[in-house]
Amino acid sequence: MNAAPVVLAGESVASMVRAAERVCGTPDLLLAIVGGFAVTCQLGRVHRATGDVDMVADELATASAGGSSARALVELGIARPDPGGKDHRVFVDGTKLEIIETQELHEGVGEIDSTLDRLFLLGHRWALVTAEPTRVSVAATSIDVTLPIATPAALVATKLHAFCDRPRDEKRASDAYDIYRLVEIHDRDGAIASALNEGPCGLAETVHELAVDKFVENAERVIRYMKVYGEPAWGEITAEDLRRVIGALVAALRT
């Protein structure tokens, strides 16, 4: 763990950090933070608006706790259930948490026919087992905590799955921006590509296949999502920028 904390700012960030600390400190649950908040931590700044916390959990640890992670948190009085009845969603002091259960990877998972299913299983489990304890503090508050944050490479994998699986284009815009920024910042020395290549069998190949299809060959469509649904600064990114940044990553991936 790096002794220097990631320093963030803002009341919404403070609420997310407080909620994440309460949940991640729960005995018998193995959790890691993914999604937009994890991207914010890995970039070291609030690069776009986000107000909820996404997590991955160990299904076996959850079973020992008596059910799903979300249910366990409700039963322990840490969270309240989703009013809409979503089993994977809870609220902690007003902050929404969504929890994806993962399971240990079995032999042959890299050969699953569905590319998207394969990426889901490989990427989310990998995000859990490789998450790094990260100090996070919030400016102008006393908050200084250590949270399990998914690595940049794992976030690229999970965000790529989210992008491909979204029913709404506006959510694809934020996924695409997250992926672009993670790769732009953290793959300058090939670190993300190297980590993916050393990940579970089939992960690098799956990321390569989907990233080429969605981000390199269809860069103009991705840029259109960001221009239409994104924040003003996102409109400065061009299709050429996207192909250059993501193209360099996929060129280094094992196929």
pLDDT tens-place string over residues 201-252: 999 999 999 999 999 999 999 999 999 999 999 999 999 999 999 999 999 9
How far apart are the C-alpha atoms of 180 and 82, rounded to whole Å? 32
Mean pLDDT score, 138-147: 97
Q: Which residues pair with 6 in a beta bridge?
A: 136
Percent of the chain with pLDDT over 90: 84
Q: Which residues contact 160 (CB under 8 A, 6 or more apart)?
A: 119, 123, 175, 179, 207, 210, 211, 214
Question: So what's the pLDDT on residue 4?
Answer: 82
Work out whether strand 53-58 and strand 31-34 pair parallel, antiparallel, or are unpaired: antiparallel
- pLDDT tens digits, 97-107: 999 999 999 87
For the ranges 82-91, 101-110, 139-148, 202-211, the lowest mean pLDDT is seen at 101-110
- Tell me the DSSP string of 219-245: HHHHHHHHHHHS-GGGGG--HHHHHHH
Number of Cβ within 10 Å of residue 197's Cβ equals: 17
The b/e string for 66-75 (b: 16+ C-beta within 10 A; e otherwise) is eebbbbbbbe
Q: Which residue has the tokens 């259960």?
A: 101
Question: So what's the pLDDT on residue 106?
Answer: 85
CATH assignment of 1-150?
3.30.460.10
Mean pLDDT score, 160-189: 96
Q: Which residues contact 108 (CB under 8 A, 6 or more apart)?
A: none
Q: Is pLDDT of 200 > 70?
A: yes
Q: Which residue has the tokens 């018998």?
A: 28
How far apart are the C-alpha atoms of 84 and 124, rounded to whole Å? 25
Parse the chain into domains and list their residue ranges. 1-150, 151-255
- pLDDT tens digits, 30-46: 999 999 999 999 999 88
End-to-end CA distance of the chain: 32
Read off the tokens for 245: 């940044």
Q: What is the pTM of this model?
A: 0.95
